[in-house]
Copies of this chain bind each other. A is one copy, B any other.
Amino acid sequence: MISYTPIGYVHSPFQQTVGMPIQAVAARGVPGRIELAPEYHAGLQDIEEFEYLILLYHLHRIEGASLTVTPFLDHQSHGIFATRSPKRPNPIGLSVVRLLKVEGLILHIEDVDVLDGTPLIDITDVTHRLRKN
């Protein structure tokens, strides 16, 4: 068993999954913010140098996993690991968001496709982590 503690919460215009962008392109320009817990403040040093951030977060409203799913606009089922469906064995989400501004513990972000109140597990930078692409 692996245990993590939220480092903060993501706020977005989405109060429920109905109406949320299913494809990331539909989240372009959607504003939101991260409210980091005060004890992690020092971890933000130099984060403003990055235009994009990778967020890892807990899909807290997902109940039950499904090993095969039929994605939106698809007609065939696929294994969960070949999809971005949230009904994952470990309900962890990954999004790339644009970082607009840092104000103390608040990170103003854009391209947000997560529910309001989503517990944040980690923030990491796109360039370092995905420089292989």
A residues bordering B, Cβ < 8 Å? 1-7, 24-25, 28, 40-47, 49-50, 52-54, 56, 58, 67-68, 77-84, 88-90, 92, 94, 96, 111, 119, 121-126, 128-133
Contact = CB atoms under 8 A, between A and B. Distances in A.
Contact of A90 (B5, B81, B128): B5
Given A24-B132, A43-B81, A94-B94, 7 more contacts: A2-B6, A4-B4, A7-B90, A47-B79, A47-B82, A56-B92, A84-B124
A79 B1 contact: no
Nearest to A45: B79
A132 B96 contact: yes
Nearest to A23: B131
